Structure 1
Amino acid sequence: MRRTTILRTGLSALLLLGTWATAGTLPASAADTPPRSSEAPASPALLSAMQRDLGLSRGDALTRLAAERTATSVEPRARSAAGSAYAGSWYDADSGKLTVAVTLAGQADAVRATGAAVRHARFSARQLDAAKKSIDALSAPAGVASWHVDPEANKVVVDVVAAHRDDNDVRAFLTRAREAGPVAVRETSAAPRTFAAGTVGGDPYYTGNVRCSIGFSVHGGFVTAGHCGSPGAAVYGWDRSYVGTFQGSSFPGNDYAWVSVGSGWWTVPVVLGWGTVPDQLVRGSAEAPVGASVCRSGSTTHWHCGTVLAKNETVNYSQGAVHQMTKTSVCAEPGDSGGSFISGDQAQGVTSGGWGNCRGGGETWHQPVNEILNRYGLRLHTA
């Protein structure tokens, strides 16, 4: 919808036609930025979305965000303590703690000393990553949706579209995948697709006849999904005025891009509220662990929340495979592509694609924002 005034919408028109000149201009680097414990963990709108989509009370949502913030800060220390025995980690919502898998019992005490719980595993993260890399080199048929390392299962999990489980080419792919290392097969109800859309009314940005959503403001522009536009393509705002151009874009293989802005447009460190909910400030890009809650903002379906299901997943779109994606239980629909994934006040990634919708549910993948920042040498605009 069109915004009637900038002030009434909390400065939330696309790359807001305004900025904070002093406070909130210090950039975050592409490296993870530790969350600031003194800051409020989330806006009322994000808390409301968590309550709706995760079935939490407001108090439970606040408690979970605080626990996830702690788990995010513990993870790098726990990984270092595990050393070569590290076999992956995830946030356990039941215990409210980070769980770290290790292959050597002798490393358990050092990991526990960081505040993490410990689980024994047979295969190290290095072994599992090597197996996934071998599977990445295979040509996947359309009936194979995606694959990723699952630290809790201690295997590479391959998701297969249920209707194609017995296809000869799928069975042949699985046979070759199992030769690479420990593999588990799970079924999914539909194949993934990207969430770009043809031109329709609304607030996001447009390129050609495609409507997509903005991801996160960076100094000089914003990041978004690569399938939304090619380098040099012109970008137009919610009011159809010229915003800038795609300076870099990669899809498939990756699904990220960045757009430079000018012509009176500039950036602020918020995730859009679309004029119906308060905007969410962005204060960094510390990566939330598997199992943590995460919310998404997009121009079609606005705010929805869920949990991180997997990291470093390879997604097999019809246009080609995309690597190093993060899978979530958050729904999305056409037009949401490129939009923001955020955990608390920490930027996570830009919406790529998925299956399902926000009426019946589904899963959605995002391209991690730190990878995009590092690839293009960008600085996240933070509050």
Structure 2
Amino acid sequence: MNRKFNTLSTVTALFAGLATVHGVPATAEAAPSEAAVSALDVSPEILSAMRRDLRLSEAQLSRRLAFEAKAPALEQGLRAELGASFGGAWLNEEGTQLIVGVTDEASAERVRRAGAEPRRVARSQAQLDRVMAELNANARNATPSIHYWHVDLPTNSVVVHAEDSGMSKLRNEAFVAASSGAKDGTIRMVASTEAPRLAYDVRGGDPYYFSNARCSIGFSVNGGFVTAGHCGGAGTATTGFNGVALGTIRASTFPTNDWGWVATNGSWTPQPWVYSYNNANVTVAGSQEAGVGASICRSGYTTGWRCGTLLAKNITVNYSNGPVYGMSHTNACANGGDSGGSVISGNQAQGVTSGIAGGCDSSNPQTFFQPINPILSTYGLTLRTGGGSTGGNSFVSRLNGKCIDVPNSNFSDGVQVQMWDCNGTNAQKFIFDGRKLRIADKCLDVAGASTANGTPIQIANCNTNPAQDFTLSGAGDLVSYLANKCVDIVDHNPNSGAKLIIFECRGTANQKWDYR
């Protein structure tokens, strides 16, 4: 089990192994069965909406979700390895291959070795980001006829969407001309006929009311929920769907950002669920940011579940009220009445709906959302995940139905965790925020911060070391960020007392987990 990597670099080797295990490219895989799709740890409601809106077969759906779960780690490693020659990364149309922009052939070869597809580009992502920053710095001079701008990775350009007629065209060209990107062809102007507008009368899971208006709950956090900032100012009282006092808007920012949060009162219990509009709830497992090209679904009172793909990140949207920075862009449609609602990829929270340019009746719907992680970071909030119990939830193995367990409830630093019959005790109750797994006053930890196959999984005092960072993929893989390897039951041992380690992700049952 102990093999050493001897390829170009450790990072490249790790990610090359990942691509091989998960069958990239997809054309080399056998079509998965319908049972394989149902085994993915993704809500049936999301799967159904993806089939409908993305027109995916069972095989395509399974491949897409499996690869999307791994793509962020692959992108992160290549970004670090390529440095200044990194030209951005995005998924192909099928969502089964990572395409990486590179500015030289040496970098292209590194990308190939890692199992991704290189694309030669003229500009690095750093160059594109600098042009984006110049436009942002001049945002106050953008007229309402300029609708939004963003880095478009597949075309290796910065795209400005604006009206393209009369005096508006001249003013828009003057705005762009102030940037260095106008001189070297980095900026592209694209005609846009629909200005972004805020979608007020909405709900994501459930509606809430304030000042004779209605918006939507985005995602539950400890003590309340997050929503769009334009949905009420700080200090505003709110009521729930049933007319009962809900709480008070604690903080709100708009424009510049479009985020806010509501502190709920004791009559309400925030749960880690998004309403599916099919008499069911989708459980939120974390907030891992999806990559450009990934599948996106959103929930709203007006249009229900709608799915599409993530088209771009870090967009500046020029609303009539003023610009909002750092937004994301999807073609999962929305209508008026969907503002503040939940945007999700698989079981990972992505953000809250902000505005639209062309709704669900449009042939080219555009929806803009505020990413979730900056909201949580700004206000010091913790996303509610798992089953919603304040004491935590259990990680259950798909191999044997047993739970990850701290032996004898011994919460000492360095105790290796094991498998045991699920019993609901504190020795099996983890609080997972999408990054760290906390139990009692400790965190799940890769011993010695090692990346080697067979390294024990233990509990240790919580710290900032990436050895304590994990992600739970839509396919049920519990993956160490540090090692890019899966939490694994040693030797497929189905018995109580079996120890846990990290090992190369193979998609086998001893590496599959449900958090519930």
SS at structure 2 position matched to 1:260 = strand
Question: TM-score scaled to structure 2, two decimals?
Answer: 0.63
- Match for residue 332 of structure 2 among 322, 330, 349: 330
The offset of 1:352, in angstroms, is 0.5
The offset of 1:95, in angstroms, is 6.8
SS at structure 1 position matched to 2:357 = strand
Larger radius of gyration: 2
- Match for residue 377 of structure 1 among 355, 380, 383: 380
SS at structure 2 position matched to 1:77 = helix
SS at structure 2 position matched to 1:324 = strand
Distance 1:265 1:123 in 2: 51
The offset of 1:186, in angstroms, is 1.3
2:318 is aligned with 1:288: no
1:146 aligned residue: 148
2:222 is aligned with 1:224: no
Distance 2:353 2:94 in 1: 27
The offset of 1:171, in angstroms, is 2.5
Distance 2:99 2:245 in 1: 48
Residues paired across the two proteins, number:
344
* 1:1-383 mapped onto 2 (5 Å cutoff): 40-94=40-94, 96-138=96-138, 139-162=141-164, 167-177=169-179, 178-179=181-182, 182-197=186-201, 203-274=206-277, 276-361=278-363, 362-383=365-386
Distance 2:163 2:175 in 1: 13
Contact (CA 8 Å) 1:235, 1:246: kept in 2 or not? Answer: yes
Distance 2:316 2:74 in 1: 26
Distance 2:94 2:59 in 1: 15
Change (3 A) 1:260 1:126: same
Change (3 A) 1:95 1:252: closer
Distance 1:54 1:163 in 2: 34
The offset of 1:345, in angstroms, is 0.6
Contact (CA 8 Å) 2:163, 2:169: kept in 1 or not? Answer: no
Distance 2:41 2:74 in 1: 17
Superposition CA RMSD, Å: 2.3
The offset of 1:292, in angstroms, is 1.1
Contact (CA 8 Å) 1:41, 1:62: kept in 2 or not? Answer: no
Q: Which moved more, 1:294-303 or 1:355-364?
A: 355-364
Distance 1:154 1:203 in 2: 39
Q: Which moved more, 1:104-113 or 1:138-147?
A: 104-113
The offset of 1:131, in angstroms, is 0.8
Question: TM-score scaled to structure 1, two decimals?
Answer: 0.84
The offset of 1:39, in angstroms, is 7.5
Contact (CA 8 Å) 1:45, 1:277: kept in 2 or not? Answer: no
Change (3 A) 1:211 1:116: same
Distance 2:379 2:183 in 1: 33
* Counterpart amino acid of residue 150 in structure 1: D
Contact (CA 8 Å) 2:67, 2:95: kept in 1 or not? Answer: no
Contact (CA 8 Å) 1:135, 1:180: kept in 2 or not? Answer: no
The offset of 1:107, in angstroms, is 2.5
Distance 2:317 2:148 in 1: 4
The offset of 1:192, in angstroms, is 0.5
1:26 aligned residue: none
Distance 1:102 1:373 in 2: 33
- How far does the alpha carbon of each residue in 1:328-355 deviate from its partner, in whole angstroms, 9 at most, with x for none? 0011112211111101111111100011
Contact (CA 8 Å) 1:311, 1:326: kept in 2 or not? Answer: yes
Percent same amino acid at aligned positions? Answer: 45
The offset of 1:360, in angstroms, is 2.9
Distance 2:288 2:261 in 1: 20
Distance 1:172 1:221 in 2: 45
* Counterpart amino acid of residue 197 in structure 1: D
1:23 aligned residue: none
Contact (CA 8 Å) 2:60, 2:94: kept in 1 or not? Answer: no
- How far does the alpha carbon of each residue in 1:177-225 deviate from its partner, in whole angstroms, 9 at most, with x for none? 4447610111223010111129x9x951111122111111111111110
The offset of 1:93, in angstroms, is 2.4
Distance 2:95 2:211 in 1: 48
Q: Which moved more, 1:105-114 or 1:367-376?
A: 105-114
Distance 2:312 2:163 in 1: 17
* Counterpart amino acid of residue 109 in structure 2: D
Distance 2:183 2:254 in 1: 26
Distance 2:241 2:312 in 1: 33
Structure 1 unaligned regions, length at least 5: 1-36
SS at structure 2 position matched to 1:227 = coil
Change (3 A) 1:42 1:377: same
